[in-house]
Amino acid sequence: MIAPDAVSKAHLRASLAEFVSIEDALKLKYPSLSEEFSIVKSSNPVFHIMKLLRDYNIHLGVTSLSESEIKVALEVKPEEVHDISTLIVDNLEIDSLKTLRNAKHYSDSDLINMVDSFNAQQLRFGVADLIIKGLLMYSSYVKQFLTKQLTGLR
C-alpha cells in the first residue's frame, strides 16, 4: 500500500539515522571520550556527508532518489558486462547542506568536495552500497576505539 519510492526514501532515512545513532550511543557510554569516535572529528569524508545527509533528511527536507543504470562485470569475466538498476540521490545540493547547523564545521570548498565525491561514488553501485560501505568503515573505526577501551580495562 506504500509506494516503492516512499519505501526507498524511508529506508535511506532510517539507515542514515542508525548510522548517527552509533555515535550517539557511544557518547552516552563514554561521554568524556567522544572525540575519539566523533564523526565530525574523523578524517573520512563519507562519515561527514552521511551525517549531513541524515541531518538534512531529519530536519530540513527529503532526499530525492532516482533510478540509474550502471554497468557491472566480474573480474573473472570482464567481457560479460551487465546493466543493473540502482537508486541514487539526485537532489544533493551544497546550498541545502549549508543551512544545517553542523555545516559550520565545513568550508564551502569542503562541502563542494564532499558532494562531488559522494555523487561520483554513488554512481559506482548506488547510494545503498555507499551507505553500507560507510557503515562498515565506521564500524571498523569504532571497533578500534572499543578495543582500546576494553584492553585498557584489563
Q: What is the pLDDT of residues 104-133, one digit of tens each?
A: 999 999 999 999 999 999 988 899 999 999
Q: What is the pLDDT of residues 33-83, one digit of tens each?
A: 777 788 988 899 999 999 999 999 888 888 899 999 988 888 888 888 889
| Gyration radius of the chain's alpha carbons | 17
Closest CA to 52 of 6, 19, 8, 9: 19
pLDDT over 70 (residue 152): no
Asked if 61 and 12 count as a contact pair (C-beta separation under 8 A), the reply is no
Break the chain into its structural domains and give their ranges.
4-153
Q: What is the pLDDT of residues 13-40, one digit of tens each?
A: 999 999 999 999 999 988 887 777 889 8
Residue 90 to residue 129: CA distance in whole angstroms: 16
Task: Tell me what pLDDT residue 72 has.
Answer: 84
Task: Tell me what pLDDT residue 97 has.
Answer: 92
pTM metric for this prediction? 0.85
